[in-house]
Each structure stands twice: as C-alpha cells, then as structure tokens.
Amino acid sequence: MTKNDLIKELQEKFKSYSHQDAAYVVNIIFDSMINAIKRGERIELRGFGSFEVRERKPRLGRNPKSGAQVKLKERKVPFFKTGKELRIMVDNKK
C-alpha cells in the first residue's frame, strides 16, 4: 500500500471529504510522526506497533563491492516493533 492508496481509501470511506482533504489529513499525521521521531520520542499505536529511535555504536563495516573495511560512525536509526494484535493477524491466528 502506498501513501496515495491510503489517501484514496480514506476518501472512499469518508465520501463527504475531497481527495485534497484526505491527503491533507494523511500528510498531517505523517508529518507529526516524523517530527516526533526526529525529537527522539516514541510513537505507540495500540494494536499496530511502536516506532522509536535506536542508537547504533560506531563499528567497522565492509564495502560489499571491494571488500575494504570502512569505519561507520555512531548513528541513530528508526526502529519499528509490531504490536501483538498485528502479529496475530498476520499469522492468521485468532
């Protein structure tokens, strides 16, 4: 599912809103989530999962093309952990 698919589905469910209104709502939600992650906040969507920022320590990596060692600096990466309900639904268990 793409962002545009989500907008279309939202507009179909709420027919009184235009495509532009649905796009505006989706963009506000995504922008809010992005800004929260940038601030290092944790986002929890019950039944779906949680997003958080994890820190990766500096380490030696390898260039897959040449095989040369490369120093990787400390960095922050977004991390998503699925919620229990979503895991159960994906696994088709009730």
Place of tokens 């960095």: 75
pLDDT band for 92, please (50, 70, 90 cuts). Answer: confident
**How would you classify the pairing of strands 49-56 and 75-82?**
antiparallel
SS3 18: coil
Model pLDDT for residues 4-63, shown as the tens digit of each residue: 999 999 999 999 999 999 999 999 999 999 999 999 999 999 999 999 999 999 999 999
Residue 61, CA distances (Å) to 37, 46, 57, 68, 77 in order: 26, 36, 12, 8, 16
* Residue 52 to residue 71: CA distance in whole angstroms: 25
The per-residue pLDDT of the chain, averaged, comes to: 94
- One-letter identity of residue 40: G
Model pLDDT for residues 57-86, shown as the tens digit of each residue: 999 999 999 999 999 999 999 999 999 999
